[in-house]
Amino acid sequence: MELVERIISNPVMMEYVWKPLVVILILLFIVLTLVAYLVYAERKVSAFIQARLGPMRVGPYGLLQPLADLIKLLLKEDLIPAEGDRAIFKFAPIMSVVCALVVLAVIPFGWGVATITDINIGLLFILSVSSVGILGIILGGWASNSKYPLLGALRSSAQMVSYEVAMALALVGPLMFAKSLSMTAIVEAQRADHIWYLLYQPVAFLIFLVAGVAETNRTPFDLPEAEAELVAGFHTEYSGFRWSLYFLAEYTNMLISSAIAVTVFLGGWSFPLLDRLRPEHPGLFTLLSILVFAVKVFVLIYIFMWFRWTFPRYRYDQLMDLGWKWMIPATLANILITGAIIMIGQETLGLTKVTGGEYGERLVVPGLAGKAYFIGMAWLVLVPLTWIILAIINRRSYDFNLRAQRQIRLPERPATDDVFGKV
Amino acid sequence: MELAGTEAVFFYILALFTLVMAIALVTAPTAVRGALYLMATLIGVAGLFLLLHAEFVAGAQILIYVGGVVVLFIFVIMLVNIRAEINEPFRTYTRQRRLAAVVVIVMVLGVWYFGIQQDPFHLVRQGPVVALIPPPGAPPPPVEEPTLGGRISEDTQEVGSVLYTKAALPFEIASVLLLVAIVGSVVLARTRRQEETFD
């Protein structure tokens, strides 16, 4: 008994087991509630765009709809295909959800206590854990032992492997300025410099946003679950709670994609003029920083939902062409041109300096002239140059040029039948 | 490297996990299960890298091997034989039992001789669990100064600069080798009929 007591109430266990457990419980409660309401928001936004009302019956303005949905999902029958691989079938959705939720640990939701952990490979950690999440979808599709899930799984794995490359490469540009993979260090670098990296890296932001939509399997990239061709894609055979786990993972991933975009490109929880509050009212500052982060994330999520009701679904070859012929070359060009811009600004013009701070080395642009140089170069040189490079690479492709596609003529068959036909 | 305290506990857990998963991998009845066990093994190895304070290598390991290579493995397995291996399971064991037994005995003897007789690795002599549970009256353990997350450890920087200077040539050779492997597998997998259709 005494040994058990010593194990439970010793400072090491307190610091590394009990405290993190409490934080995890709080975070999970908040995020899972949020995700449930994201589904509600999705339905309301789609209703708004289509001039409908959306869910209105359960509670005022349908606000209790997520609760009703949850109860419905829990009460549904849990079907497992007879010939499928039962163990993997049960394991796959859990894997998807775990990979989505683990990532939440390193996202800086705000200043101070709201930054739960800060590890020095933060961004790399997020990318690698979410790449494992793909396996959940593939295995779920395979274990169902049915042709539609298998096709959906094959599509999704090809799509995600392709767009992950573009996503990771797009993040290299802003990292050249921040010089760190830690999420907090990236936010701090932007806050201290009074800049959002969106202004320095417009191409990378656009590509990250598109790749983020593709990674979360949302329209226009929702080919893995294209209902017209594949019933429901990889989760055709799933029902009840296991099905809702996949949805949970998908919406959490949407949240995470926007959180990364906000952290890397939109200054995270920092906001102009808010810093003056920090020395005198640290508590208020923490609260406001969380609020700022949440507002930025929700603006991006609204854009994701807006995409869904604006763009039609891509064809599969268009999807692959967009990934490999447009986005990956664009990210590579972005890295090269950004490197050149930084080098010219640093070596020739002397506009920057590298300082070590609380969070290690970073690139600082002190003067207004330097900021004007980087922003001007980004929008007036980087964007047109990338555009030209893409145009040169794709000068003979008909991927998105419907007019040209219509005019493609199949090679005419030799008209042997007409001339020497019936001898 | 001296193993003590929590580090030792985590090392033994991870090492055992990695070994068990590796054994499960080679004895797995189906290829998809095998790929899953391979994934678990690689995650265990990434954990061992973390223990060595090589965070970047651990992250890259998961990103490339688990997120890339294992996904491609499963992709290929699903394309190649979907139901065939369940209908007629392949032979997991060959008949070379005597040879295998000899090899294992030699390896165990080697580990015993070099590891325990010569003691090059400073094996742990005291129970690792003792450090976790201090006696009731003991003062609380000194709290280490937390290292800030932003600093990339110097090892990582060293890995980066070595990759681009000293190891540039082997790195390039390895990439050419991979390219050759890809081209070769495409050539081997395509049948003559497919070639004719495409030509």
For A273-327, write each residue's pLDDT tens digit: 777 777 777 788 888 888 889 999 999 999 988 888 888 887 777 888 888 888 8
Residue ranges of alpha helices (H) inside A171-274 are 172-178, 183-193, 197-200, 202-215, 227-230, 240-265
Same domain, B24 and B122: yes
Q: Looking at the partner chain, which of A131, A183, A358 has a beta carbon nearest the beta carbon of B63?
A: A131
Residue B149 lies in a domain: no
Distance between CA B2 and CA B28 in Å, rounded? 35
| Minimum distance, in Å, between the CA of residue A47 and any CA atom of chain B | 37
* B101 part of a folded domain: yes
Asked whether the beta carbons of residue B74 and residue A157 sit closer than 8 angstroms, the reply is yes
Q: CA A150 → CA A134, A224, A236, B122, distances in Å? A: 14, 10, 10, 51
Q: Does A399 touch chain B (CB under 8 A)?
A: no
Band (pLDDT 50/70/90 cuts) for residue B140 is low
From the list B162, B28, B194, B35, the residue with the least C-alpha distance to A142 is: B35
Alpha helices in chain B (DSSP H): 5-27, 31-51, 55-61, 71-80, 84-87, 97-111, 129-132, 154-164, 168-189, 192-198
In this structure, the answer to whether residues B173 and B94 fall within a common structural domain is no
pLDDT attached to residue A287? 85
How would residue B132 be classed by pLDDT, with cut points 50, 70 and 90? Answer: very low
pLDDT higher than threshold 50 for residue A175: yes
pLDDT recorded at residue A379: 86
- The strand pairing partners of A363, in sequence order, are A354
Which residues does chain B have within 8 Å of residue A126's beta carbon, measured at their own beta carbons? none
Indicate whether B93 and B184 sit together in one domain: no
**Is residue B86 domain-shared with residue B166, that is, in the same domain?**
no
Looking at the predicted complex, does its ipTM rise above 0.95?
no
Selected residues 156-195 of chain A with any CB under 8 Å from a CB in chain B: 157-158, 161, 164, 168, 180-185, 188
Q: CA-CA-CA-CA torsion for B37, B39, B40, B46, nearest 10 degrees?
A: 150
- Average pLDDT over every residue of A393-404: 69
Between CA B40 and CA B44 the distance in angstroms is 6
Domain-embedded: residue B145: no
Instruction: At A201, give phi and psi (nearest 5°).
Output: -130, 60
Give the count of Cβ contacts less than 8 A between chain A and B: 118
Please give the pLDDT value at position B4. 63
Measured distance CA(B12)–CA(B3) in Å, rounded: 10
CB-side exposure of A98: number of CA atoms within 13 Å? Answer: 8
Q: How do the domains of chain A map onto residue ranges?
A: 1-75, 76-313
pLDDT of residue B149: 43
Q: Per the omega criterion (within 30 degrees of 0), is the bond before A220 cis? A: yes
Binned at pLDDT 50, 70 and 90, residue A180 comes out as confident
Contact B33 A134 (CB under 8 A): no
How far A93 CA sits from the closest chain B CA (Å)? Answer: 14
What integer is the mean pLDDT of A242-255?
87
Lowest mean pLDDT segment, chosen from A239-253, A387-401, B56-70, B162-176 = A387-401
pLDDT of residue A416: 55
Write down the pLDDT at residue B98: 85
CATH of the domain at B57: 1.20.120.1200
Q: One-letter amino acid identity for B83? A: R
B58 touches chain A (CB under 8 A): yes
- Looking at the fold, whether B28 and B69 belong to one and the same domain comes out as yes
pLDDT digits (tens, 9 = 90+) for A76-86: 887 777 776 78
Residue B146 falls within a domain, yes or no? no
B52 inside 8 A of chain A by CB: no
For the stretch A24-51, pLDDT in tens is 888 888 888 888 888 888 888 888 888 8
Query: Where do we find the tokens 């409660």?
Result: A29
| Partner residue opposite B55 with nearest CB, options A121, A139, A183 | A121
What does the pLDDT read at residue B197?
66
Return d(Cα B131, Cα A170) in angstroms, integer: 45
Chain A hits for B9, Cβ within 8 Å: none
Give the tokens for residue A26. 């709080």
Q: Are A131 and B67 in contact (CB under 8 A)?
A: yes
Same domain, B125 and B33: yes
pLDDT band at B131 (very low <50, low <70, confident <90, very high): very low
Structurally, how many domains does chain B consist of? 2
pLDDT tens digit sequence for A101-149: 888 888 888 887 777 777 778 888 888 888 888 888 888 888 887 778 8
Tell which wins on pLDDT, A87 or B6: A87
Same domain, B127 and B165: no
Q: What's phi and psi for B132, nearest 5 deg?
A: -70, -35
Confirm whether B100 is domain-assigned. yes
Question: Is B47 within a domain?
Answer: yes
Name chain A contacts of B132, Cβ cutoff 8 Å: 7, 12
Q: Tell me the chain A residues in contact with residue B66 when contact means C-beta distances shorter than 8 Å.
A: 128, 131-132, 135
Q: Are A108 and A184 in contact (CB under 8 A)?
A: yes
Is residue B1 located within the same domain as residue B65?
yes
Same domain (yes/no): B119, B74: yes
> Who has greater pLDDT, A403 or B145?
A403
Q: Which two tokens stand for residue A9?
A: 């109430």
The mean of the pLDDT values for chain B is 73
**Between chains, do A88 and B33 touch, taking CB under 8 Å as contact?**
yes
In angstroms, rounded to a whole number, what is the distance separating the alpha carbons of residues A385 and B76? 38
Give the residue, B39 or A157, on which the prediction is more confident: B39
Domain that includes residue B194, residue range:
154-199
Sorted by sequence, the CB contacts under 8 Å of residue B27 that are 6+ apart come out as: B92
Structure tokens at A339: 């490197």
Between positions 111 and 170 of B, the ones with CB within 8 A of A are 132-134, 136, 140-141, 143, 147-153
Whether residues B102 and B178 fall in one domain: no
